[in-house]
Amino acid sequence: MRIVFLGPPGSGKGTQAQRLQEELEIAHLSTGEMLRDADHAGTPLGREAARHMQAGQLVPDEVVVGVVADRLSEKDCERGCLFDGFPRTVPQAEALDKMLAERKIPLNLVLALDVPTERLVDRLLARGRMDDNRETIHERFRQYDRLTEPLLDYYRRRGILCMIDGEGTPDEVFSRIRRAVDTAIR
């Protein structure tokens, strides 16, 4: 099972992805987490990523694709994986298609969390991570609309997109996700 999880900043994507990963027992690949780990470890890649993250900008495609390619070669990914926060641009989606094709594994489902923008800003400000300040948040939405939104059409055309209403309690949202996954694997 290979699932891509899409959603704007603050949509609850990280929380829901974590729960789904525990339930399906597949590897959880959060590029945001991997990049933050690299930053904390102080590697050159981490330092480069942090510059972009702090400005609310996307980390360059080749950097992120490299990180994901390395991670995909690890043993636990054989059982399946949940891509959380990747791909975020059309070139990243094309790179993912290529990586999966090389391994002869299909992408089964793309879940896209749908939450009205006005909800998102409040959630982000409440969370307060280093990149959660008004200016950065504004830039992240701009990047999402410009670079990530087009992925919805990319996957809709492939017939694997499933939009999930992201409003309500975490439990309500999770049960919608469960239903979508059950339908997709049946």
Which residue number, 52 or 119, has a Cβ lying nearer to ligand ADP?
52
53 binds ligand ADP (CB under 6 A): yes
Rank residues 147 and 162 by Cβ distance to ligand ADP and give the closer one: 147
Tokens representing residue 43 in the block: 């590697």
Q: 86 or 155, CB closer to ligand ADP?
A: 86
Name the one range near ligand ADP by CB under 6 A: 15-23, 49-57, 112-120, 169-177.
Answer: 49-57
- Residue 12 found at the interface with ligand ADP (CB under 6 A): no
Structure tokens given for 19: 């729960």
The structure tokens listed for 56 are 């609310």
Q: Which amino acid is at 171?
A: D
| Piece in contact with ligand ADP (CB under 6 A), picked from 27-35, 94-102, 114-122, 149-157 | 27-35
Q: Which are the contacts of 85, defined by CB distance < 8 A and separation ≥ 6?
A: 5, 13, 14, 30, 31, 32
Distance separating alpha carbons of residues 166 and 184, to the nearest angstrom: 19
Is there a contact between 2 and 83 (Cβ–Cβ < 8 Å)? Answer: yes
Binding mask 75-114 for ligand ADP (x = CB under 6 A): ----------xx-x---x----------------------
